[in-house]
Amino acid sequence: MKKINTKEIIKLKKTKLKFPIIKHLETRFSPRFFKDEKVDSKIINSMIEAGRWAPSAYNHQPWYFYWSSQGSVAYKKIFSSLSERNQWAKTAPVLMVGCYLKEREGKTNVFAQYDLGASVMSMTIQAQSFGIYTRQMGLFDHKKLQKLLNIPKEYEPFVVLAVGKIGDYAKIDEVLLERELQKRERKTNISKKLA
């Protein structure tokens, strides 16, 4: 397979807009290959702050995040819970676990996953404003991760985020490159104006 560089990947993943949107949404995509460069903790803190101010049902804010940098014991624990399909995440400088609080006032919080998603999206756009990319993963061993990180039982680990600068695609292995070259498409008919 022909080698490809990062600029070509960014061009391939370029959003084909029907209407204008803000730059950070337009340039966002989810790479599977990251640069071996530390992410400043100030950027992570800004991401978490953006997530903190996301909307939530009843302003309950049922989210909690655990994160760790590459090379740490906690990073290895998070990575060990990922499915075989997500082993590409070894290049991410930061792995972050998004959890939701399962109950509100003794009852199942039916909005918690939705609220966590809003928080993660806020974090994703904040990261993009710094030139930092994220990729969200749902394929991991939830129970194993909960045990390894000593996550309280009232919280449910729901998503793992890979966080970092986009990598040098000239160095990516062929199998992963093949996945990255898949066409990026979106449905075009997702709304209907009602009278």
| Whole-angstrom distance, CA of residue 193 vs CA of residue 195 | 7
Residue 9 CA, chain-centre distance (Å), reads 18
User: Percent of the chain scored above 70 by pLDDT?
Assistant: 99
pLDDT, one tens digit per residue, over 132-168 is: 999 999 999 999 999 999 999 999 999 999 999 999 9
pLDDT, one tens digit per residue, over 13-69 is: 988 899 999 999 999 999 999 999 999 999 999 999 999 999 999 999 999 999 999
pLDDT band at 127, cuts 50/70/90? very high
148 vs 56, 73, 81, 110, CA distance in Å?
28, 10, 9, 26
| Whole-angstrom distance, CA of residue 67 vs CA of residue 44 | 9
Residue 185 pLDDT: 85
Res 2 pLDDT > 80? no
Which distant-in-sequence residues (6+ apart) come within 8 Å of 14 by Cβ?
none
Is the distance from CB of 163 to CB of 102 less than 8 angstroms? no
What is the H or E stretch that residue 133 is in? strand 133-137
Res 1 pLDDT > 70? no
pLDDT, one tens digit per residue, over 75-86 is: 999 999 999 999
According to CATH, what is the number of the domain 39-165? 3.40.109.10
Domain boundaries, the chain: 39-165
Pick the residue with more confidence: 182 or 2?
Answer: 182
pTM: 0.94
Residue 191 pLDDT: 92
What is the H or E stretch that residue 25 is in? helix 23-26
User: Percent of the chain scored above 90 by pLDDT?
Assistant: 83
| Whole-angstrom distance, CA of residue 186 vs CA of residue 195 | 26
| Whole-angstrom distance, CA of residue 34 vs CA of residue 185 | 22
